Amino acid sequence: MKKLTNFLIKIRRKINNKTLNEYKSIWNFEKSENPILKLDTDYFDVSILKSNHKLLIYFSNRGKNCIDLGIFSLDDMKLYNKFSVLFGEKNTWSENINRPCVIKLKTEYYMWFTGQIRENSCIGFAKSIDGIFWTIKENPIIIPEESFEKNAVMNPCVIYDNKFGI
């Protein structure tokens, strides 16, 4: 665990103007109470962002084949609200939605996610003004086209660079 912590510190020295060392005391990296976050179902592939002194953690929920949102207070890192993210109309290419990547730019939230139906997986896109209610783009934005992809593209990751605006 110590090697992982040191590796993370080297990769990203600052998160929202605080160093990872400052967060270490909040998240108890060195204590035996790991995992640091215990929830009541099978969550995986999280996307984390800070918004108004809260930490928003979007989870894939294997039990419900959906994305849930946990809202944590940055003061004590306690979970104080958890609910399912709500998407508008369903579409024909994503019965299951998971593996979110969420960013907030100005007043809007943007999510890239894996949409799955039967054996096929694509990357989808959705927008929201509150981070809870989302409108999904009608068609996937990335689909498997190459032979090595077979029938799946998954796990989107988007990084926004404020300096270049992209």
Model confidence pLDDT, tens digit, residues 67-120: 776 777 666 666 666 777 777 777 788 888 889 999 999 899 999 999 988 889
**pLDDT per residue as tens digits for the range 149-160:** 999 999 999 988
What is the count of structural domains for the chain? 2
Residues 125 and 139 occupy one common structural domain: yes
φ/ψ (deg, to 5) at 104? -120, 130
CATH of the domain at 96: 2.115.10.20
> 100 preceded by cis ω (within 30°)?
no
Residue 91's contacts (CB-CB under 8 Å, 6 or more residues apart) are 115, 136, 138, 139
- Quote the CA–CA distance of 47 and 100 in Å, as a whole number: 6
Residues 7 and 75 occupy one common structural domain: no
Residues 76 and 150 occupy one common structural domain: yes
pTM: 0.73
Domain residues for 14?
Answer: 1-36
Residues 143 and 154 occupy one common structural domain: yes
Residues 24 and 88 occupy one common structural domain: no
Residues 60 and 128 occupy one common structural domain: yes
